[in-house]
Amino acid sequence: MSPKMEEVARAEVTKLAAEGFIEQLASDWCSAPVLVKKQDGSYRFCIDYRDLNKVTIQDQYPIPNMNGILDKLQKARYLSEVDLKNAHDQIPMEVNSKKYTDFAIPRSGLWHYTRMTFGLCNAPRTFQRLIDSLFWPEFEPNIFGYLDYIIVATDTFDEHLHWLEVVLSKLREVGLSVNRKKCEFCCQRLTYLGFVLDAEGLRPDPERVAPVLNCKPPRNLKELRSFLGCISWYSRFIHMESSVKIPLLKLTKKNAPWLLGTGKK
């Protein structure tokens, strides 16, 4: 880590410690910090937990099927999206698990997280378990919880106010905070995870689809996999999607010749 990056990392550690998200304690585990540059030029402080995740017993709690939720949301007349603020940070770490989150900063010692942090393999499923404990399947088709997004869908405005109050009351009871800037309340059209939802049904968000339609042909395996991920997300709207993907999937095989000829384009 360069001196400049060390300075950025130490500043972030000072901030996290002041907020109570991390504390100093020696451990026989240590993962490496990573600084990811954002579009605005600032840096996102992350920890590379890949080695820890390899030896972690995987939580098998199920994550809801996104397509199933989208199907149930179609044609709702009123929609709200409640976004939980820094969702993972709101879950306290189990005392005996804290030591496994240790990371080191040069000349600043060893630190570990006091709250569940991004990058731990079981974090999404742990959070989904919490959401499901608050909003059971019996609340469908009016409340849907998918990780840190909670959707309220109703046919009438009065119903909507009722179910919205249910959501906010339950979050208040357990002390979960929402990100007001990212919440959308009582909308007749909602953009959600790359899709537009309204009384007419479900369709891709034009702003999210445009970069895919206008992108240049992939130049390497990494770009190809990224492109395949994008079109898979919208597969229900792609005519003969499997026949389109097969030639591209063949290029992802080991030692496959990289020839993006006219046919594949």
Q: Please tell me the pTM assigned to this model.
A: 0.77
pLDDT per residue over 161-177, tens digit each?
Answer: 999 999 999 999 999 99
CATH class of the region 66-91+122-203: alpha beta
Buried b (16+ CB within 10 A) or exposed e, 98-133: bebbbbebeeeeebbbbbbbebbebbbeebbebbee
Residue span(s) of the chain under CATH 3.30.70.270 come to 66-91+122-203
The predicted structure's pLDDT at residue 260? 56
pLDDT of residue 14: 92
Residue 8 burial (CB count, 10 A): 17
DSSP run (H or E) holding 7: helix 3-18
CATH fit for domain 3-59+94-113, picks 3.40.50.2300, 3.10.20.600, 3.10.10.10, 3.40.718.10: 3.10.10.10
Low-confidence residues of the chain: pLDDT under 50: 262-263
Q: How many residues does the chain have?
A: 265
Cα diameter, the chain? 60
Q: What is the pLDDT of residues 184-196, one digit of tens each?
A: 999 999 988 888 8
For the chain, residues classed under CATH 3.10.10.10 are 3-59+94-113
Distance CA(208)–CA(223), nearest Å, equals 17
The token duo for 198 is 């309204």
pLDDT at 261: 52
pLDDT of res. 123:
94
